[in-house]
A and B are shown apart, each in its own frame.
Chain A
């Protein structure tokens, strides 16, 4: 599904190298987790994949089903099936959540040559998906993320994911700012979307999210590289011993 080869990235504005040769291969239906200390480049990886400005790819590639992502506009990546759940979802005053969801959904359908969804079908769909995430009508009416609590913002991210049905989902520290109940709700939302044709890359600091969203593969990232890859037990090891041991071991 997603194949990243030798990805090197630096900040455009300053000469600061963030990613120093990331290699990652995620198969269809797999859930991978990336853990790592602050500043290891986890969030940068997610932004670069989604196409945020301000980063310069100096080497390497990232392909989604064989298609080079790095040459596409962000909207084309979304249409190709990539989705990034933001660590800090953006507030957009003046744009209603419903309008936002419908505009996004129709834009993606249009780029795939599909007809726009009817107002009735859209309403039915959004209500059904919102219900399972405990997002009420009031939240759907409000401007995008404006005045939402941390938990509401993250639930809203998952709602977007559920509506847009991407094939490759990246979750950037979706657990940050969530209490136990909210984390459970968000995780259930994610788990409900797991399927043979959909893959996940879960970026997190902590093992606790991985208790809810069980990964197939766990990677440890440090200083812009993936330094160790293993099964779910690797996350537990981090939880018990911290990153120091692994960092020391790899040298």
Chain B
């Protein structure tokens, strides 16, 4: 089936500006295969149902739109005091001087750019595999483009309990940088890893993370997307969970002109648990899109989606979330909530919650709300002596509490609360 002319042209223009990374053994094969798939699907257009609420034009553009670096030095960098293994990418390029040595007990870490020439069975089997599985029922071309053109990333093999968190730090320096990174993580049965990500990464950032979580393994993921106002990002997490495996992922997004965070999660073994949460605060020229697809393909699994957005001065929030319960996935416990707090009349929230259920003994709930701050609660707080701005900040944090509550590490949660409080103070939360 041929592509519509417009899509074909857009893809041709985009490919013109890119070149397949050279070398790489099995990686080269995977890239070529991804490029072939991409040519079949083309790039997204606004007319595509999956892109109705988010304009992909600036993600499709051959050149990354200019994004000035933002000076965030008024705050301590995230995870600063934590004992962690740090891996730094500047505009998508690995920075060996700023990174730690890649050796860690319980974990093997390789750079993607070097992995292709090595016979790493698990990585060879994983790279592009979950991404490909995630292409149905909805095509995700940016993920395929990423698989084809990613210049670097990390492949992390976790065989035991990781001695400390692995921390990926994405620094943005050049105002025209266009970074494409692809990570693969494989957790063997019973293994445990906490993966931290932070930073704006580039003017335009494409990132795919494929995570294969074997039976009884635990994967915790905390991400802070950096405070650059002008940056753009399209990210995908593809995860597959085995029996009794656990995944928890939390993302804080403050600022950013355009963010599309997709998560495609497959629960393939009984009693797996996947919790995805996001707290988003946006002011002004800000567009944030959480697109989530969770498949329950085994019995007695639990999934939670908790996404909260605080929007002001014309900011836009999008949530597209789906729970698919396959035949036989009895005793499924699925929960999905997406809410936005609109601090003025100019901001908007677009939500498309979906449930598709083919089993008869399941518990699934979803809710989506959009509303203003509760004036009665505000007055109640003020009448007790709390100034209006502080009262508003308190109520905003209360609104975000359920999402932040999904963070397992209380120190990180507290740090994030502090960052949000300061963000609210800076963005003069006058209701």
Q: Which residues of A contact B (CB under 8 A)?
A: 50-53, 73-75, 77-79, 83-84, 86, 89-95, 99-100, 103-105, 107-108, 111, 143, 160, 164
Contact = CB atoms under 8 A, between A and B. Distances in A.
Nearest to A161: B384
- Majority secondary structure of chain B interface residues (helix, strand, loop or mixed): helix
Nearest to A80: B385
Given A73-B387, A94-B398, A94-B402, 5 more contacts: A50-B379, A51-B379, A74-B382, A75-B382, A78-B385
A95 B394 contact: yes
Contacts of A89: 380
Given A92-B395, A94-B398, A51 B384 contact: no
Given A53-B375, A90-B376, A103-B394, A78 B388 contact: no
A104 B385 contact: yes
Interface in B66-114: none
B383 interface: yes
Contacts of A52: 379, 383
Contacts of A75: 382-383, 385-388, 391
A89 B377 CA distance: 9
A94 B394 CA distance: 9
Nearest to A109: B385
A5 B93 CA distance: 73
Contact of A107 (B376, B379, B390, B402): B390
B26 interface: no
Across the A-B interface, the 10 shortest Cβ-Cβ residue pairs: A94-B398, A78-B385, A74-B382, A104-B384, A108-B385, A90-B380, A94-B401, A107-B385, A95-B398, A75-B382
Contacts of B381: 92, 100, 103-104
A164 B395 contact: no
B399 interface: yes
Contacts of B388: 73, 75
Contacts of A51: 379, 382-383
A111 B385 CA distance: 9
B375 A74 contact: no
B364 interface: no
Given A53-B375, A103-B390, A93 B398 contact: yes
A100 B386 CA distance: 9
A107 B377 contact: no
B362 interface: no
Given A78-B384, A104-B384, A108-B385, A94 B379 contact: no
B398 A107 contact: no
Contacts of A79: 385
B397 interface: yes
Contact of B385 (A92, A94, A143, A164): A164
A55 to B, nearest CB: 12
Interface extent on B, as a size class?
20 to 34
A74 B401 contact: no
Contact of B383 (A74, A93, A99, A105): A74
11 contacts: A51-B379, A53-B379, A74-B379, A78-B382, A78-B383, A86-B380, A94-B398, A95-B395, A99-B394, A107-B384, A107-B390
Contacts of B387: 73, 75, 107
A84 B397 contact: no
Q: Which of B379, B380, B399 has the most CB of A within 10 A?
A: B380
A50 B383 contact: yes
A73 B388 CA distance: 9
Interface in B366-411: 374-377, 379-388, 390-391, 394-395, 397-399, 401-402
Contacts of A100: 381, 384
Contacts of B397: 94
Contacts of B382: 51, 73-75, 78
B277 to A, nearest CB: 15
Contacts of A104: 381, 384-386
Give the residue among B376, B382, B385, B397 with the most A Cβ atoms within 10 A.
B385
A51 B402 CA distance: 31
Contacts of A73: 382, 387-388
Nearest to B399: A94
B100 to A, nearest CB: 37
Contacts of A92: 374, 377, 380-381, 395, 398
Contacts of A107: 384-387, 390
A86 B388 CA distance: 18
